[in-house]
Homo-oligomer: A and B are copies of this chain.
Amino acid sequence: MPHDRQAMTAASRLLERFRHARAATQALAARLGAEDMQAQSMPDASPVKWHLAHTAWFFETFLLSPRLPGYRVFDEAFGYLFNSYYEAVGARHPRAERGLITRPTAARVLEWRAHVDEAMERLIPRLDEAGAALVELGVAHEEQHQELILMDALHLFSRSPLKPAFFEGDPPRASSTAPMEFKGHPGGLAQVGHGGECFAFDNEGPRHTVYLQPFAIADRLVTNGEWIDFIEDGGYRAAALWLADGWAMAQVEGWQAPLYWRQEGGQWLALTLHGDRPVDPHALVSHVSYYEADAYAAWAGKRLATEAEWEQAPLMGRLWQWTRSAYLAHPGFRPGPGAVGEYNGKFMVSQMVLKGGSHASPAGHARATYRNFFYPQQRWMFSGVRLADDA
């Protein structure tokens, strides 16, 4: 295939991916009304409208304005409103006040998205490799916000006594739990991090060698039924199982179960994307903090896996899996220059790595080297627990 046609094919594939990601975001938003998209339920979360706008802002700011000659910025005021955290791009609206941005309306934001999409259709075929890489980044970014939309909408719905559902119908229910088995690994030299050709975030590399001690890792995640055993055995009242910070947080917040769980008449119920449901003992436990995951592991006489161990036995799946590794730079990592360099590197302190993706992640989004990260007390993401042990 001659070079030009190769380039054309690559561009048309990229355009396809772009269209698909943009449409997927809007398909989620279409399940919500203007009011649902407006509210911000806590500073960690953002309004859905804000996600719609911020992802448009990303393409406009990093691709259209610098690279599409004659591109007209849709509204100059939006840069201030929808910049998330890029200091290099300028001042921005305070994060905790995103729910107060009532104008532009959701309808106007959708017009902005259409304006951006139309321009991106023209830009993508002309891009060089660096430009195409930025589109890849923008698409991955758009996909991350799709999962954030689900996280944030669920949190918002949890504040309502009406307990709305994001999706109609029933979630899949399992009828049994397979015994948990631990697969051994002999340790020794191993490779960690991303090194291939295909797209990855900067923080996934460089690929590098590590030396591992022998270890074993579970073949599945912890279930709700197993978590109920932990609760009933007094796990939330036994300080000895907990990290000191975790115990303090659990007391202050009154944690007695995962986020969104409540007990009614002796039965556990949980708010899910499908609405209020009895807790399925065979389903995987979700919405637990690092503190809870670590305490559960201590109770079970096990531990969480390190990120390096996890990458030797990746289990892509239905929930993000807490590791006992802090989110820090891989050896040799340097953030890129300029605003896009702020994407990942500046968060490398005080957070823990989660691996594997979740049922709320877009298909094909996560990889074995993908590094998700949250603070140890956070619980509103789709996080679960996979046990490991020394050999």
Residues of B close to A326: CB separation below 8 A: 326, 328
> Does A35 lie within 8 Å of B106, measured CB to CB?
yes
User: Which label, helix, strand, loop or mixed, suits the secondary structure of the A interface?
Assistant: mixed
> Does A160 lie within 8 Å of B87, measured CB to CB?
no
Copies of this chain, count: 4
The one of B35, B87, B99 in contact with A34, judged by C-beta atoms closer than 8 angstroms, is B35
Q: Which residue of B lies closest to A375 (CB)?
A: B350
> Does A102 lie within 8 Å of B35, measured CB to CB?
yes
Q: Which residue of B lies closest to A41 (CB)?
A: B100
Residues of B close to A269: CB separation below 8 A: none
The one of B88, B100, B348 in contact with A39, judged by C-beta atoms closer than 8 angstroms, is B100
Give the Cβ gap from A153 to chain B, nearest Cβ, in Å.
Answer: 10
Interface string of A196-233 (1 = CB under 8 A from B): 00000000000011111100000000000000000000
> Does A87 lie within 8 Å of B162, measured CB to CB?
no
Stretch at the interface among A20-28, A125-133, A239-247: A239-247
Enumerate chain A interface residues (CB-CB to B < 8 A). 33-39, 41, 49, 77, 80-81, 85, 87-88, 93, 97, 99-103, 105-106, 156, 159-162, 164, 189, 208-213, 239-240, 242-247, 290-291, 294, 303, 306, 324-326, 328-329, 331-332, 342, 346-350, 352, 376, 390
* Interchain residue pairs A-B with the least CB separation, the first 5: A326-B326, A87-B239, A211-B211, A35-B102, A34-B34
List 18 A–B pairs whose Cβ atoms lie within 8 Å, in order of A's numbering.
A33-B34, A34-B35, A35-B37, A36-B102, A100-B156, A100-B159, A103-B160, A189-B211, A208-B213, A210-B210, A240-B342, A244-B347, A245-B347, A246-B349, A303-B329, A306-B331, A324-B328, A349-B376
